[in-house]
Each structure stands twice: as C-alpha cells, then as structure tokens.
C-alpha cells in the first residue's frame, strides 16, 4: 500500500497537521480514549501516524501495559520514535511497521484503535479478520472514520461487513466530525 499503489494514504509530508494544539482541542486523545484504556493493557494503535494517540494511550496506561504503534509508512514511525526517544514512554511504546497486505502483529491485544485509516485500506475484510485473530477475548476495537471522507452509507456498509466477520457493536461514542463504532467479538 505504498503511495503509488494507494493514493488514499495520508502522506508523511502532511504529518504536521496530524499533531497540533487545535486538533488536541477538537479531538482530545485522553478524553476520547480514557473510558477504554486501563493500566496493564496491550493496545494496538493501528495507523498511528505521528503518534498523536499512541503517546496519550501510553500515558493512560500509567505504569504498566504496552502500546504497539503500527503504521505502514516508515516516515510516520520515525516521527513517533523521535518523540519518545529518551523518555519513559519509550519503554511502553513499541514501534511496528506493517506490511503492505498484513498488520503483522503476533501479540494478542486488549484494545485496538483504528483512527481515520480504515477507509485507506483496499481489503478491509482481510484487515478485520486479522484484527479478530489478535484480539483477546473481551477485547475491543474502536473504529473512528472522518465524516469528510466516509459517507454514512459506506460506514454502515463497513459495519455490516464487520458483523458478518463475527463482531458485535458495543457502542457508538461521539467524536468530533467522525463516524464511530466500538466493537467486540460476538460471544
């Protein structure tokens, strides 16, 4: 899914717009994620970009737990690494480069954040099946998509696919200018 193959991926050159004080006011990561993150969890931030949410998640984990900051683009991961280098967060955030057609994480996780990136994935079914395979029992996936890129109809179609794969909806939390769904594996 490099830029030539998938032009829908947010390029590294626009990374500055992904982490700024205005966004932090409108989409406060701590406020959005605090109800779902607790100490000791293993959390996958899929499509982590510059680490806007990864760093907040690591702080919410307090003294134990792990964040896997995963992205397809090496440039994004380098930006995360620069932010955490030499800090206590370096011990809680693992940088992971995804492959073109697989996440490639083998560790089971308690929570997955998929913020503004699932619409960039050509084969969403494969992605969702892979997420299901690494999610711990009672684990949750929080998918957040931008209203300005994803229509209500296409979001609902994606949710129907998700249900067919074996997930059930827990909630639809409110996030500024976003479509959201919180999921777990059907019992």
Number of H helices, E strands in the chain: 6, 7
3-state secondary structure of 125: helix
pLDDT in tens, 59-87: 999 889 999 999 999 999 999 999 999 99
What are the sequence ranges of the domains in the chain? 12-185
β-pairing verdict for 66-71 and 93-97: parallel
Do 78 and 51 contact (CB within 8 A), yes or no?
no
Provide the 8-state DSSP code for 102: B
Q: What confidence score (pLDDT) does residue 12 get? A: 65
Provide the 8-state DSSP code for 5: T
Q: How many degrees, rounded to 5, is the angle at CA 115 between CA 151 and CA 143?
A: 65
pLDDT in tens, 142-179: 999 999 999 999 999 999 999 999 999 999 999 999 99
Q: What confidence score (pLDDT) does residue 4 get? A: 37
CA distance 149 to 177: 10
pLDDT in tens, 20-64: 677 677 889 999 999 999 999 999 999 999 999 999 999 999 889
CA distance 36 to 13: 31
Q: What confidence score (pLDDT) does residue 3 get? A: 36
For domain 12-185, give the fold: Rossmann fold (3.40.50)
pLDDT in tens, 114-141: 999 999 898 999 999 999 999 999 999 9
């Amino acid at each position: 899914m490099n830029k030539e193959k998938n032009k829908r991926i947010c390029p590294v050159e626009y990374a500055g717009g992904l982490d700024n004080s205005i966004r932090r006011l409108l989409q406060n990561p701590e406020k959005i994620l605090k109800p779902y993150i607790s100490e000791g969890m293993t959390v996958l931030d899929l499509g982590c970009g510059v680490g806007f949410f990864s760093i907040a998640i690591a702080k919410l984990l307090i003294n134990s737990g792990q964040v896997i900051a995963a992205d397809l683009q090496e440039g994004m991961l380098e930006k995360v690494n620069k932010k955490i280098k030499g800090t206590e967060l370096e011990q809680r955030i693992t940088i992971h480069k995804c492959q073109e057609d697989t996440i490639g994480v083998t560790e089971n996780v308690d929570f997955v954040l998929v913020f503004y990136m699932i619409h960039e994935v050509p084969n969403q079914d494969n992605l969702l099946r892979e997420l299901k395979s690494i999610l711990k029992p009672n684990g949750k996936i929080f998918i957040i998509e931008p209203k300005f890129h994803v229509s209500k109809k296409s979001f609902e179609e994606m949710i129907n696919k998700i249900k067919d794969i074996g997930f059930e909806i827990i909630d639809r939390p409110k996030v500024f200018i976003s479509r959201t769904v919180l999921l777990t594996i059907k019992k």
